[in-house]
Amino acid sequence: MEPDDVLAGLDPEQRQVAEAVRGPVCVLAGAGTGKTRAITHRIAHAVRTGVVDPQGVLAVTFTTRAAGELRQRLRMLGAPGVQARTFHAAALRQLTYFWPKVIGGDPPSIIQSKLPLLIDACRLIRKNPDKSELRDIASEIEWAKVTQLAPDDYAAGAAKAGRASPVPVEEVARLYEAYERLRRERHLLDFETILELTAAVMTEHREVAAQIRQQYRYFVVDEYQDVNPLQKLLLDTWLGGRDDVCVVGDPNQTIYSFTGATPRYLTGFAVEHPDAAVIKLVRDYRSTPQVVGLANRILAKARTPHRLELIAQRPDGPDPVFTEFDDEAAEGEGVARAVRKLMDTGTPASEIAVLFRVNAQSEVYEQAFKSAGVSYLLRGAERFFERPEVRQAVVLLRGAARSAAAEDDLAPTVHHILAGIGLTPEPPGGGTARERWESLNALAELAEDLATKGADLPAFVAELERRASEQHAPPIEGVTLASLHAAKGLEWDAVFLVGVTDGMLPIIYAETPDQIEEERRLLYVGVTRARAHLRLSWALARSAGGRRSRRPSRFLDGLAGRPVASPRAAAAPPRERRQVAAPLSCRVCAKTLITGAEQKLGRCAGCPADLDEGLLERLKSWRAVAAKEAKIPPYVIFTDVTLQAIAERVPAVEGDLLAIPGIGRVKLDRYGEAVLALCRAASA
């Protein structure tokens, strides 16, 4: 590839980024505008034109999966050998390398979770927090370490930052102190300490700093809006006063503030580097105008000084679909059906993702996909080669490779070895067994793939080792189930955003306006992952027949402007068919209705109502009496909005009553007669 070919696939602004090969560069741009593309081409261009050696480049990004994507794109652009890593992976490599030289002895072991140490720390200070408190305390310690607060400074820092501490701040501080003491005594490293120590070793040992800076001269950081103070410290230490640094990010995709990250480094880059080239990209190449339109509408409602309006470049696609379900299981089934349909019409499973706010939500979809025979993968290819089953498999395969006969067929041999540690022909049920199986199956498929290219077992093992060192996980075929946080930077043809209720998005514990805005940005990140098909859904109740107390996310208020798909469409199983479709448009102004409340009323909240006030009063009195008799709260019978909807529509027959969302068979059987009697009296 000629240097110019690398630039050919870029628009003028992206080209500007790629051609600004030296000095500080900052790209501030919205989702899908080609930031990641621009930096990969910039690196390839710099390498091809001899501005920098591939080994001199360090590209840093957020997740191992994103780093893998970067490496893949760079390979395709003819720039292999460029290091693309997460901050952690890059730091860990340097720390492990220099540890024996400057500190001596074995490097410490790395802990994947703070909880075991934290539990011991609790014992030390005789505290016994419950599991969720423990997790919250661990997050606080993480935040304190990331923002560089010592235990003694935690209380003041937490107050200043308005942190809602899970237990009294003094207690967090004591636990933090005890946790750190135990961690040092036991010779362990957590993720934050890896970064901190790498920076410290460089600062204290000039020869280490010199060697690292001699190697890395050219820095590129993707997703810079979510860099935290500790990562910034490490980046500055790497740079050591030099300014060959290019950062790209989107302030409206800041979704890690709660962990201590801040978009200030991105938005303040030009102040920090007055000679920086600041380039903006506005064309969205990822998504259809329909998806981009929704993303823009979400952003228009955000409290943000960076109102970047995306301009869609792709041809039209389907409208985003909003679907309300009765309960979570119905939502899971509905999503699985829609996924099947997409797959049947040619969308590969690997081009479909189901994204949710918290990991616990994945279970419903695992179940539904299992029943529907849809293969899925639980998380991305994160840390594939660190999974215990993969390590075990690699050890066994390596052993077998040493004694392998040349005529052994690769695929059957690998299958045989993996079967010994749990690879079955069919995937087992959900959870960890399923994850384990997915890993082993991915290894088996990789072996089959290489076998067709004539590889033998030693070659396969060598390939695994190469992939492990580059964190290049084999593709796992299946629908991705991932959290919104894990999805950033990625894209799929079809995206299902599920559980979009108030309480889940925004999550219930987001209280301050800043926290609510971060939740809104999460929705923005989710929506902008879709290339073409985008479906948002929510369930009114947790379980079948449960209280339908949920409402769609407030972020969707007034946003849809698109038909609300009925989950009870044709071919639906009986449980769904019994209910009626939600009214689609306002009976006053005919605008599409999106919120549960507006659908119930059958009109926009702002449109004039033809309300029978007398009837509403009588309905309320009736409800009070009925609730008292049944010893249940009145809203369990009918919410105020449902009563208002009844008083506006004055239903005459059962069918009219059923047509009001929120009134199903059960309610009709129980209260229909009484309500209809009141309505008939009112009409008379």
Our CB check for ligand ATP shows the closer of 320 and 596 to be 320
Q: Which of the ranges 30-38, 283-291, 338-346, 613-621 carries the binding residues for Mg ion, by CB under 5 A?
A: 30-38
Binds 61, which of ligand ATP, Mg ion, none (CB < 5 to 8 A, cut-off by type)?
Answer: none
Our CB check for Mg ion shows the closer of 480 and 595 to be 480
Q: State the number of binding residues for ligand ATP (CB under 6 A).
A: 19
600 binds ligand ATP (CB under 6 A): no
Q: How far is the CB of 27 from ligand ATP (least distance, A)?
A: 8
33 binds ligand ATP (CB under 6 A): yes
Residue 140 CA to residue 128 CA, distance in Å, equals 17
Residue 73 CA to residue 67 CA, distance in Å, equals 10
| Closest by CA position to 323, among listed 538, 495, 571 | 538
36 binds Mg ion (CB under 5 A): yes
Our CB check for Mg ion shows the closer of 306 and 575 to be 306
Residue 355 CA to residue 540 CA, distance in Å, equals 18
Q: Which of the ranges 4-12, 207-215, 291-299, 625-633 carries the binding residues for ligand ATP, by CB under 6 A?
A: 4-12
Q: Which of 99, 258, 285, 635 binds ligand ATP (CB under 6 A)?
A: 285
Q: Which phi-psi region, left, alpha or beta, contains residue 431 (left: φ > 0; alpha: ψ -120 to 50)?
A: left
| Closest by CA position to 351, among listed 328, 373, 377 | 377
Q: Which of residues 466-505 bind ligand ATP (CB under 6 A)?
A: 489, 491
Cα 49 from chain centroid (whole Å): 37
Residue 350 CA to residue 473 CA, distance in Å, equals 14
Measured CA to CA in angstroms, residue 10 lies from 18, 59, 287 at distances of: 9, 20, 17
Q: How far is the CB of 487 from ligand ATP (least distance, A)?
A: 9
37 binds ligand ATP (CB under 6 A): yes
Tell me which residue has tokens 């306002």.
586
Our CB check for Mg ion shows the closer of 70 and 79 to be 70
- Angle CA(35)–CA(40)–CA(42) in degrees, nearest 5? 90
| Closest by CA position to 384, among listed 63, 49, 645, 10 | 63
Q: Which of 142, 177, 250, 366 binds ligand ATP (CB under 6 A)?
A: 250
Residue span 521-550 as binding mask against ligand ATP, x where in contact by CB under 6 A, dash where not: -------x----------------------
Q: How far is the CB of 332 from ligand ATP (least distance, A)?
A: 27
Q: Which of residues 181-210 bind ligand ATP (CB under 6 A)?
A: none
Binds 250, which of ligand ATP, Mg ion, none (CB < 5 to 8 A, cut-off by type)?
Answer: ligand ATP
Q: Show the beta-strand stretches assigned E in 95-170.
A: 109-110
Our CB check for ligand ATP shows the closer of 76 and 102 to be 76
Binds 389, which of ligand ATP, Mg ion, none (CB < 5 to 8 A, cut-off by type)?
Answer: none
CA torsion sign for 375, 71, 87, 491 is negative
Residue 236 CA to residue 199 CA, distance in Å, equals 9
β-partners of residue 479 are 376
Binds 236, which of Mg ion, ligand ATP, none (CB < 5 to 8 A, cut-off by type)?
Answer: none
Q: Which of the ranges 31-39, 225-233, 289-297, 361-369 carries the binding residues for ligand ATP, by CB under 6 A?
A: 31-39
| Residues 6 or more apart whose Cβ sits within 8 Å of residue 330 | 539, 544, 567, 575, 576
Q: How far is the CB of 215 from Mg ion (least distance, A)?
A: 26
- Angle CA(136)–CA(137)–CA(143) in degrees, nearest 5? 90
Q: Which of 157, 166, 334, 489 binds Mg ion (CB under 5 A)?
A: 489
Residue 535 CA to residue 325 CA, distance in Å, equals 13
Residue 132 CA to residue 190 CA, distance in Å, equals 20
Q: How far is the CB of 615 from Mg ion (least distance, A)?
A: 55
Contact present, 298 and 252 (Cβ < 8 Å): no
Q: How far is the CB of 222 from Mg ion (least distance, A)?
A: 6
Q: Which of the ranges 34-42, 291-299, 478-486, 566-574 carries the binding residues for ligand ATP, by CB under 6 A?
A: 34-42
Q: Which of the ranges 5-13, 199-207, 419-427, 564-572 carries the binding residues for ligand ATP, by CB under 6 A?
A: 5-13
| Closest by CA position to 223, among listed 10, 507, 486 | 486
Residue 78 CA to residue 72 CA, distance in Å, equals 10
Q: How far is the CB of 629 from Mg ion (least distance, A)?
A: 59
Q: How far is the CB of 76 from Mg ion (least distance, A)?
A: 16
Our CB check for ligand ATP shows the closer of 40 and 413 to be 40
Cα 274 from chain centroid (whole Å): 34
14 binds ligand ATP (CB under 6 A): yes
By three-state DSSP, how is residue 222 classified? coil
Contact present, 42 and 77 (Cβ < 8 Å): no
Q: Which residues of the shown chain bind ligand ATP in the complex (CB under 6 A)?
A: 9-11, 14, 29, 31-37, 250, 253, 285-286, 489, 491, 528
Interface ranges with Mg ion (CB under 5 A): 35-36, 489
